[in-house]
């Protein structure tokens, strides 16, 4: 298949990564914006020599799913410097990594503003130049010829390339091989809004003033999503992203690129050395490391990424991969588009008064579709997590089954915690009676039910989850069912250890 056929069949397959335009030896590909304001490749047939390099380079056309056999080491991290933290969206992870490269005379690529506040990829060779790349810009960043610039820079120096996951994939496919002196850092990505929408927004909504500063993630009111636009005449807009036109349309998934709802490049299909984002939910999983100035989350994908992470000036703390996802599902799963997305863009194209169209969609909330969307989004997240974890489960050295007497949810959690703490790396499954003749086996408390008479199912379960040992609570009191379970335990072929919980 060719890129043009792929796009004609399904626009959502093209992320706009611009790898095809960068690779073309004849400069025959131009990125042209569609009616929604997103850029897609257009081939000039007069210039094209049919070499096929664009098709061979496209990360979407050449996509293959990855599976991982171990989870990436996951950390919270803070660059403990007031000024850097104030100007960074999260915990300053990007600056900490960039400084290593710049100190060694290297070059950093990332998303910055041009003089009109349009967003594009550019480079920084000094700490001062880094300022423009700092901070999230909630707009699709134009790559231009940056992949070519990266390739050129790699001939003589070390390079850090940062961008959304599809851009890291675009760069990797463009380069076609790994470079020891290249570090790729991708940011967790909710999705990217239309550049044309952003340009109209600043042009028409705030155009009464000359803008001197834009910050999509100002920390004036703390580490939340707040946008700050400052004008030359000292006026400014500062308003929570969830409560202003542009930000709300972004968060609701109305203004994003079609590819973002079907994003192919989230973990584990990532192509980068490190993934960075916000440590949302930190108060639940690592409250002692919470910092109101902002905290980063970091996933280490490669040995090179680990090496840089260890060199960076950071306060770090290891956390569980699964905990990090609970309030940040975008690491593995896409945002679903609002059902009004198409109509919104059609209205925008038809109506000259963009502000009133944005206001209409901003104020209308269709609760029913939002609920349905959240439900579907949640189901996809669970499916993706299951897909990532199941091959890894097979790898654990210690998978244990706890057979215990009946206790409430809190009691079960305590017992699981006790085993997880004492058996490092083990995966704990929990079997207890449910009703007479029925057992429920819980893994992180979403259960599998077994009919007690069906000991074959229990045996299959042992094999499927590679169980290596069983801990049985003493005294084993499952009422009338006790003899069946005792017989099964005796014959199951696994080592069985008894344990007793002290009640005082
Ligand atoms: C569109 C978008 C959606 C995001 N969604 C999430 C999310 O759902 N969950 C989450 O935890 N984090 C998300 N982030 C990432 C987060 O907002 C921070 O960018 C990230 O944590 C880095 O923060 P920092 O403090 O390390 O450094 P900062 O200095 O704040 O980092 C800036 C980095 O972001 C890159 N960047 C900024 N804007 C863009 C852009 N438009 N395109 C490509 N790269 C860009 C820069 O190149 C630089 O590497 C998103 C960022 C963007 C731009
Ligand atoms: S086939 Fe070759 S020349 Fe033609 S657009 Fe693709 S890369 Fe360019
Ligand atoms: S290389 Fe990127 S921009 Fe080009 S067709 Fe493929 S996904 Fe789209
Ligand atoms: S959600 Fe996926 S396709 Fe969309 S910008 Fe982010 S990485 Fe690219």
For residue 172, what are the CA distances in angstroms to 95, 134, 494? Answer: 22, 23, 46
Model confidence band, residue 396 (pLDDT cutoffs 50, 70, 90):
very low
How would DSSP label each residue in 262-304? G-S-STTS--SSEEEEE-TTHHHH-GGG--TT--EEEEE-SHH
Domains of the chain: 3-57 (3.30.70.20), 74-389 (no CATH), 399-499 (3.40.50.20)
Query: C-alpha dihedral over 486, 491, 497, 502, to 10 degrees?
Result: -10
Atom 8 in ligand 2: residue holding the nearest Cα: 24
- Does ligand 1 lie within 6 Å of residue 77's CB atom? no
* DSSP structure class, residue 449: E
Give the dihedral of Cα atoms 104, 131, 39, 269; nearest 10 deg: 50
- Token reading at 496: 């069985």
Which residue, chain included where needed, has tokens 């499952």? 478
CB atoms within 10 A of CB 382: 13
* Signed CA dihedral, 169, 171, 177, 181: sign only: negative
Report helix, strand and coil shares of the chain as percent, to nearest 5.
Answer: 40, 20, 40
Task: Determine whether the shortest distance from the Cβ of 29 to ligand 3 is under 6 A.
Answer: no
Q: Give the residue-averaged pLDDT of 63-81.
A: 91
State the ligand closest to the CA atom of 257.
4
SS3 111: strand
Tell which residue, 439, 468, 472, 475, has the closest CA to residue 455: 439
77, 86, 112, 136: which to mutate for ligand 1, most atoms within 8 A of CB?
136
Q: In this predicted model, what pLDDT tens digit does every residue of 142-180 receive, in sequence order? A: 999 999 999 999 999 999 999 999 999 999 999 999 999
Instruction: Tell me the C-alpha distance between 163 and 176, whole Å.
Output: 18
Structure tokens at 396: 């654990």
Pairing of strands 427-433, 399-403: parallel
CA of 16 to the centre of ligand 3 (A): 5
Q: CB of 260 within 8 A of CB of 16?
A: no
Q: Is the pLDDT of residue 438 over 60?
A: no
Instruction: Tell me the two tokens of residue 86.
Output: 């104030």
Distance 359 CA to ligand 1 centre (A): 26
Q: Could you identify the residue written with the tokens 């001197």?
A: 212
Cα dihedral value 42, 178, 139, 88, nearest 10: -160
Residue 61 CA, ligand 2 centroid: distance in Å: 15
Q: Whose CA is nearest to atom 16 of ligand 1?
A: 277
Range among 3-17, 239-253, 318-332, 391-405 with highest mean pLDDT value: 3-17
The residue nearest atom 8 of ligand 3, judged by CA position, is: 14
Q: Is the CB of 56 under 6 A from ligand 2?
A: no
H/E stretch holding 463: helix 455-464
pLDDT single digits (tens) 469-503: 888 888 777 667 677 778 888 888 888 888 777 65
Q: Which residue has the higher pLDDT, 344 or 465?
A: 344
């Amino acid at each position: 298949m060719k890129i043009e056929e792929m796009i004609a069949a399904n626009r959502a397959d093209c992320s706009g990564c611009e790898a095809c335009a960068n690779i073309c030896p004849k400069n025959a590909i131009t990125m042209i914006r569609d009616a929604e304001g997103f850029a897609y490749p257009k081939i000039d047939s007069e210039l094209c020599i049919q070499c096929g390099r664009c098709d061979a380079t496209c990360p979407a056309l050449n996509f293959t799913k990855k599976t991982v056999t171990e989870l990436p080491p996951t950390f919270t991290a803070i660059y403990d410097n007031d000024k850097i933290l104030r100007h960074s969206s999260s915990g300053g992870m990007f600056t900490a990594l960039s400084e290593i490269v710049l100190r060694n005379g290297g070059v950093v690529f990332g998303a910055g503003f041009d003089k009109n506040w349009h967003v594009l990829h550019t480079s920084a060779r000094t700490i001062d130049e880094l300022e423009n790349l700092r901070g999230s810009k909630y707009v699709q960043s134009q790559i231009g010829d940056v992949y070519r610039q990266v390739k050129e820079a790699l001939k003589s120096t070390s390079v850090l390339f940062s961008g959304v996951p599809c851009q890291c994939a675009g760069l990797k496919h463009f380069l076609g091989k790994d470079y020891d002196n290249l570090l790729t850092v991708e940011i967790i990505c909710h999705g990217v809004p239309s550049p044309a929408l952003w340009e109209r927004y600043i042009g028409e909504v705030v155009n009464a003033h000359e803008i001197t500063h834009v910050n999509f993630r100002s920390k004036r009111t703390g580490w939340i999503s707040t946008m700050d636009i400052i004008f030359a005449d000292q006026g400014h807009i500062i308003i929570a992203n969830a409560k202003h036109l542009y930000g709300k349309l972004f968060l609701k998934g109305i203004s994003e690129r079609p590819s973002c709802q079907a994003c192919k490049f989230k973990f584990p299909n990532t192509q980068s050395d490190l993934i960075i984002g916000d440590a949302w939910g930190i108060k639940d999983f690592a409250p002692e490391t919470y910092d109101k100035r902002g905290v980063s989350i970091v996933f280490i994908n490669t040995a090179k990424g680990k090496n840089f992470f260890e060199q960076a000036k950071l306060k770090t703390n290891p956390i569980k991969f699964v905990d990090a996802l609970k309030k940040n599902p975008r690491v593995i799963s896409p945002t679903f588009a609002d059902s009004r997305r198409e109509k919104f863009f059609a209205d925008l194209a038809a109506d000259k008064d963009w502000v009133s169209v944005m206001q209409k969609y901003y104020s209308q909330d269709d609760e029913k579709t939002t609920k349905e969307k959240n439900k579907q989004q949640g189901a996809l997240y669970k499916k993706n997590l299951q897909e990532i974890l199941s091959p890894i489960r097979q790898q654990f050295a210690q998978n244990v089954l706890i057979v215990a007497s009946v206790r409430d949810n809190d009691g079960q959690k305590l017992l699981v915690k006790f085993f997880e703490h004492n058996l490092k790396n083990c995966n704990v499954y929990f079997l207890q009676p449910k009703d007479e003749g029925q057992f429920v086996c819980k893994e992180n408390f979403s259960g599998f039910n077994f009919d007690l008479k069906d000991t074959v199912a229990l045996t299959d379960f042992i094999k499927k989850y590679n169980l290596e040992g069983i801990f049985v609570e003493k005294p084993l009191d499952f009422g009338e069912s006790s003899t069946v379970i005792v017989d099964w335990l005796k014959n199951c072929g696994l080592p069985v250890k008894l344990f007793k919980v002290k009640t005082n």
